[in-house]
Structures are given as structure tokens and as C-alpha cells.
Structure 1
Amino acid sequence: MKWNEHTTGQRIKLLRGALTQEELAEGAGLSVATVRKAEQGRGQVSLPSLLRLAHALGTDVSVIVGQQAPRRAMLADDRLTLRALSRTVHDTAAGIGTEREPVEFAADLVAGWDAYRAGRVGVAGQFATSCVRDAATALANAPEDRRMAAHGTLADAFRLSAYVANQLGARDLAYAAIGHAADQARQGGDPRREASVASGRSWIYLRDARLDDAEHTATLSYTSIEPSYGDRDPLLLATYGWHVTFAAVVAARQGNPTTADDLLSQGSAVAARLGRDVMVNGTAFGPASVTAQAIGIAVSTGKAGKALQLAAGLHDSSALHQAARNRLQLDIALAQCDTKQYDTCLDTLLTVCTEHPEWVRHQTLPGVIAQRAGHATTSRSRKIAKIIGATLA
């Protein structure tokens, strides 16, 4: 039987192996009753509980819901992209492959980030592969007065590689690439870039269910660049606002709603001070992005009604890049599911899946939402299951 043909409960039991239910419950910080309910398929298992089970089982939530096999099955093109990216990241970090003539690659790095933010992860990985190699070559040939800038550019290429690897489920490569990005950012001497790398590491921790590490690192990312009261530089304010708002997301996932609300208030204050969405490294921060994150936080803290109210008030999300808009729609779908609007939820989810299938394939949340609402409309559920590659049982 294929992995995605098992029920979620069967997959948890298979992953548990020799562990007892009591041992799994202790490792996940859950009750034995919750583990038993999950394995027997009785009722719905919350996303925080799935994250804790994934962490205790040493796997990804997408494996538990059947979207990916335990060895992280993926399309052939993604597998080839990942293999090339891994080889380049590791070789470049070892100083291999830079003995050649430098080439112009700035436009490719921009294109790589644009592809990533548009949800085209495979394309972003192809750009990242060439940009890491080309940025390392540029650094090796840079005159002394250009070396710090070259370190910064290589940090950006490594960070893009880390993000692609994280989306593709290659956690070891993601950790390696973000580590190389941190080293290059330090040598580049740019605190804002270092904060971005720290925030990226926090996101990797978050997807790996290392919630304590995610929260600690997210805190470092925004406190290291906290502006003074008199600072008016919009780029600095936007960078700080983005990182403090992301830290609010991490705190919410960690189960600290008070901390999340406090950090979100700080982000909202910065957004109000800016009065508009400001682009920072290709990502917008401002009123729209804060509201989008507030919706996600409301959902993860069990306030689905509040999330839908916030969504109704967000009339213009055009400042957000495509991947951020996709994630916003997933949060709205989850809120609709939590308020038992199952058909509406599936409509929202099916729209995202149909319009952006490549991005959806690398996300865990669509499978979770579809499983919880899948009994509402069989035809829509089947379409969603086909796109995301999961059995909704």
C-alpha cells in the first residue's frame, strides 16, 4: 500500500514503530488519550498537536497527513533541483568550484527571490544553485574594498537556498545553508541582513517543530535591530516591524498568546507609523502584512471568528507577494473550517490549490485543512487531494 493510501491514524502508528503510545505522548507533551484518538481517527487533531507529534516522531507534519512519504517523496524535477542545490551549497562552503571567471548574476538573484515569493519553489532552487556558485566566485575575486558587499550577496544566495530546501523538506540542507548565510552575513557587517538570516533560521526551526529554538531566534532577530524613538528610516522601521511581527507568529505557535499579542501590537505600531507598505528585500511590510499575520495568529490561538473579522476588513492585499497571499488564504480557509463553514472552506482551499499548485505541494497546511473539512463535499475533496498528493482520511 502506498503511504498516502493509509489513514492518518495508521501513518502515526507506523511512524511510532516500537514506541508505546505512552512514550509518544510523553515525547510530544500530549495526553495518551490524544495520541490514542489520533491513531484511531476519532475526531479532529489540532495543528499544534500534529506539530508536537511530528517533532516527537522525528518527521514532518506533511508525512503524517500523507502529503509526503517518510523519505520525503517529491517530483523528479524537484529531486534533481534539490540534488544540484545540495551539491553546490556544500561544495561552495568548502571552497570548491570558485576557480573560474566571475560572471554577472545580480539579476538572477533578484529573479530567484521573485520566483520564491511567487510560490515557484523549483524555479527559485534553480536560480539559487547558480547564484551561490556565482556569488562565491565573485567573493573570491573581489578587491578588498568590495569584499564586505560580496559577503552580503553570498549570504543572500545561501539564505535563498535555505528557504528552498526548507520548502522541499530537506531540513539538513536548510540548516547547513542558513548556517553559511549567517557566517557570510557576519563578515558582511550588515545588522539588517544578520537579522534576516536569524529570522530565516527561526522559520526553519518552526517547520521542524523546534518551537523553543524558533521563539528564541526570532527574538534575537528583532531585538538586534530595534530602532530608537527618533529613527525615521523607513527601511529600518519596516525591517524591524517585519521581524517583530514574525516573532509574534512564532509566539502564537508556541502557545504564548499574551506574548504574541504584545509583539503584534509593536508591529502594528510600526506599520501605523509608516502609514504604507514598504518593500524590504522584496518583501512588503506595513498595514496589510500586519493584518495578514494577525489573521494567522488569531487562527493559531483558537480565535477563528476574530480571524474572519480581520479578513473581512482587509480590502487590499495587493502589497503582499503571491506566496504571502496564498498563505493568507490558507489561514482564512482554516478559520472557516474551525467555524464549521466546511463548504466555504473547501471553496477557498480549492481556489489556492488550483491557481498555485506548485506552491501548495510544498505546504503542510492544505492537507490538514482538507482532512478536517474533507467530509463536506466529496468532489471538491477529491480535486484537492489530487493536487496536494494526499489521501483525506
Structure 2
Amino acid sequence: MPQWSEFSTGQRIKILRGPDMTQEDLAHACHLSVDAIRAAERDVRLTLPTLLAVSAALHCDVSVILGQSTPRRATTHADRVIMTALSHAIHDTSAGRLPETLDEPPTVAELSEIVTQAWSTYWTGQYAQVGALAAPLVREAAARLHVQPDGEQASAWAVLADAYRISAYVANLMGARDLAYAAIGHAHHAASQAADPLRAALVDSGRAWVYLRDARLADALDLAEKAATDIEPRFSKASHEELTVYGSHINFAAVVASRMANSVRAADYLSQSHAAGARMGREHGAFGTLFGPVTATTQAVGIKVSLGETGQALDLIDSIGDVSQLQKAAQHRYAMDKALAQADARMWDSALDTLEGALEDAPEWARHQALPGVIAEKIGAGSTARLRKVSRIIGVSPVPREGMGFAAADRRTAL
């Protein structure tokens, strides 16, 4: 498959337009004639005003259209529209620009319900829908803070911190790393104003995840450890809410340690994660996250795979029964780790069964994940019709196994 820079400018415009947007649609969005769009896509004529209009209509940088930078894999025109709106909301509110048409912003209670709805949608893997919801949520939360009476602002700061954190998570998954950094930074400020240690720790954990996706592994581990240490509870007296947040943090620290091939620290954190899960007895949710014994065990599978301990990963898989307590996105993530363990053990058919099942169940979720492509490449020479089908779903070409090197960097940041 050609590299992005090897396409012509006209071909890149057509690819970015995608199958859901016609030339007529693009012309209308650009306030140009259809003939101008056709000429641009045929590389016959593309003036600077046309280039700028197309760039704005497609919600992507001019450098992407010219092939100087590469668009993120699987990002559609609709995704780019959503991310543009989210970017405007984050930057406008952080600069103090509030909606002028909002006479009376929703109450804190109403916004909290929207936050809960956003997290619920997020954990089904419908990230584009969450992004569409997050932009107005950020604006309305900022407007609520602006009108909130003195002495009652902590709750408004808390909901604004949640709105920014949700935005950061969506931006991180969509590959908008600068926006993710900005949103999580604003979430940190809002959480500090809310004076809520658990919420502040979750923001720090979110920043650690942005670091991980940006391949800043040492920074991610330092921050994950600090976030977990800051809220470490006494197990005998801890509430389920405290154990949920702490367990999620310590589990993430184990994930990062495994990406750094630090088996000793990963094992230590896993031990604490299992202890927290055992203390809880079942899965519990708090602040948009879920944790419990099933989460601890399923996450341990991915950690063991990262450390090259395939046999232990397969043993854990054999011990795991019903995972329906997990959110859908967590179930799909576990399926990816399971498929990768099976591929490492050269259980090609089992790996394909697991991978194909997850992709067919959650194609929208899979669109924003790097790991399915890594698994498909690892299976390699089993390039049967089934592998070709899987490869089409995730947008990669089947790669023969012979001579195929497994990119460690992909596994380290494929979260």
C-alpha cells in the first residue's frame, strides 16, 4: 500500500472526503462549484483559496492534504468534525469564552447525569459519540461554574474536571495528542479547585495514559505510581469507591511497568491490584471507571503478554470465566490480549477466532485501536480468507509471518 506522501494531492482529497461525502457535498461545504472540486481531485487545478477551503471543510490541516504530514489511520470526516468542535470547546472555555446563547446553564446535578451518560457511552467503545457529547458538556460546565454562587463552586469545578478528563480521553484515542495534553491539563486545574483527592488522582492517571500513548514510558510510570501512592487506602477501612480508584491506579502502574519490561515492579503492582480486587469481591464503578477481581485478572493477561510470559497469560485465560461484569470496551480489550497470547503461542486458529469475534462485535471500537493490526500482522502467513477479512475490518494488509518482526513500540503504546 502506498505511503500517504506517495498519493497525489487530488487522491488525498478524495481519500479524506471518504465514501460518505460526495463531491457535491464537499463543494457545498467549501462554497465552491462541483467543477472546482472535480478539478482538484483530478490534479488539474488547485488554487490556494480552493486548498484552504477544502482544508476547512475536511477539518484537517493543509499539511495533511499536501502529504507533508499523515492523517491518523481510520479517522473519518465525521471524526474530524467532532474533534474540531471539541478542540474549540476546550480552548475557548479555558480562555474564558463562554456560550452567549445559554441563558441558564444546566444545574450541577443535571451536568453530573450527563457526565455519567458520557462515561457509559465511552465504555461501550463509541468514542465519536462521546466526543460529540463532550464538546457541549465542556461549554455548559464552564458556564455553570461562571454563574455558580460563591462558596458553592467546588461541585461545579468537579463536574468541569470530569468534562475535561472525558475530552482528554477521547482526544487521546483519536490521536489528537496535543488536544489530549491541553484537556488533561485543564482537568488538573479544575480538580485542584474542587478539592477532591480521588478526582485529582484520576486526572493524574489520565495524564499518565496520555504519556503512555506518547511513548513517554518513564514519565507515565512515575505519574501512575505517584497517583496511586497519594490515595493508597487502608484496606480494612476503605470504601468501595476508594478501592475502585486505587485498584485502577495500581493496575495501570502494572501495565506501564510491563511495557518497560520491568517484571519485578509489574509483579508487585499486580499483587496489590489482586489484593484490592479480592477485598472488593465484585466489580464496582466510581468516577467513570470500573474495578474489581475480574478487572484485575483480565488486565493481568495483557501484562503477562507484554512481559513475554505467554504460558502464565494462557493459564490466567483458562482461569477466567464470565467477563460480562466488565464494560464492553474492557471486554473487547481483554479479547485482544487473549488473541495476542494465543498468537504468541502459535495458536493461529484460536487467535483468529478471538480476534474476529471481537472485531465483528465492536467494529467502531476497533477502529480506534492499534492492537488488532499488531495481532493480524503477528498471525501473518495464516493469510487465509479469514485473515484477509480481519485485515479489511482493521484497515491493514495481511503480512506473511516469515521475516515478520513484532514491533515492541506498537505493543508498548497500544492501549
TM-score range with shorter-chain normalisation? 0.7 to 0.9
Residue 92 (structure 2) pairs with residue 95 (structure 1): no
Secondary structure, counterpart of 2:333 in structure 1? helix
Q: Which residue of 2 aligns with 1:85?
A: 86
Secondary structure, counterpart of 2:152 in structure 1? helix
- 2:131 is matched with which residue: 104, 125, 132? 125
Q: CA deviation at 1:350?
A: 1.0
Q: CA deviation at 1:98?
A: 4.0
Secondary structure, counterpart of 2:323 in structure 1? coil
Secondary structure, counterpart of 1:279 in structure 2? strand
In structure 2, give the amino acid aligned to 1:283. Answer: T
Q: Give the fraction of aligned pairs with identical amino acids, expressed as a percent.
A: 46
**Could you list the runs of 5+ residues in structure 1 that have no partner in the other structure?**
7-68
In structure 1, give the amino acid aligned to 2:281. Answer: G
Q: Which residue of 2 aligns with 1:166?
A: 172
- Aligned partners of 2:283 and 2:290 also within 8 Å: yes
Q: Which residue of 1 aligns with 2:2?
A: 2
Residue 210 (structure 2) pairs with residue 204 (structure 1): yes
Q: Which residue of 2 aligns with 1:327?
A: 333
How far, CA to CA, are the matches of 1:334 and 1:346 in structure 2?
10
- 2:247 is matched with which residue: 241, 248, 251? 241
Residue 316 (structure 2) pairs with residue 310 (structure 1): yes
Q: Which residue of 2 aligns with 1:12?
A: none
- 2:189 is matched with which residue: 177, 180, 183? 183
In structure 2, give the amino acid aligned to 1:89. Answer: I
In structure 2, give the amino acid aligned to 1:170. Answer: A
How far, CA to CA, are the matches of 1:141 and 1:314 in structure 2?
50
- 1:360 is matched with which residue: 358, 366, 369? 366
Q: CA deviation at 1:4?
A: 7.9
- Alignment of structure 1 residues 244-323 onto 2, 5 Å: 244-323=250-329
RMSD: 1.7
What TM-score do the two structures reach when normalised by structure 1? Answer: 0.81
How far, CA to CA, are the matches of 1:358 and 1:76 in structure 2?
14
Secondary structure, counterpart of 2:231 in structure 1? coil
Residue 216 (structure 2) pairs with residue 215 (structure 1): no
Q: Which structure has the higher relative contact order (CA within 8 Å, separation 6+)?
A: 1
How far, CA to CA, are the matches of 2:182 and 2:201 in structure 1?
17
In structure 1, give the amino acid aligned to 2:162. Answer: D
How far, CA to CA, are the matches of 1:162 and 1:392 in structure 2?
33
How far, CA to CA, are the matches of 2:311 and 2:235 in structure 1?
35
In structure 1, give the amino acid aligned to 2:70. Answer: P
Q: Which segment drifts farther, 238-247 or 223-232?
A: 223-232
What TM-score do the two structures reach when normalised by structure 2? Answer: 0.77
Indicate how the Cα distance of structure 1 residues 105 and 227 shifts in structure 2: closer, same or farther if over 3 A, else same. closer
Q: CA deviation at 1:229?
A: 5.2
Indicate how the Cα distance of structure 1 residues 367 and 229 shifts in structure 2: closer, same or farther if over 3 A, else same. closer
- Aligned partners of 2:199 and 2:287 also within 8 Å: no
Q: Which has the larger radius of gyration?
A: 2
- 1:114 is matched with which residue: 120, 123, 126? 120
**Could you list the runs of 5+ residues in structure 2 that have no partner in the other structure?**
7-68, 400-415
How far, CA to CA, are the matches of 1:260 and 1:191 in structure 2?
25
How far, CA to CA, are the matches of 1:5 and 1:381 in structure 2?
27
Indicate how the Cα distance of structure 1 residues 186 and 146 shifts in structure 2: closer, same or farther if over 3 A, else same. same
- Aligned partners of 2:111 and 2:159 also within 8 Å: no
Q: Deviations over 1:39-86 (max 9, x none)?
A: xxxxxxxxxxxxxxxxxxxxxxxxxxxxxx833251111111111111
Count residues in correspondence: 331
Q: Deviations over 1:278-312 (max 9, x none)?
A: 21224321110000111111110001121111111
Q: Deviations over 1:149-178 (max 9, x none)?
A: 110100000000000001100000000000
Q: Deviations over 1:340-367 (max 9, x none)?
A: 0112111111111111111111111011
How far, CA to CA, are the matches of 1:98 and 1:146 in structure 2?
21
Residue 342 (structure 2) pairs with residue 341 (structure 1): no
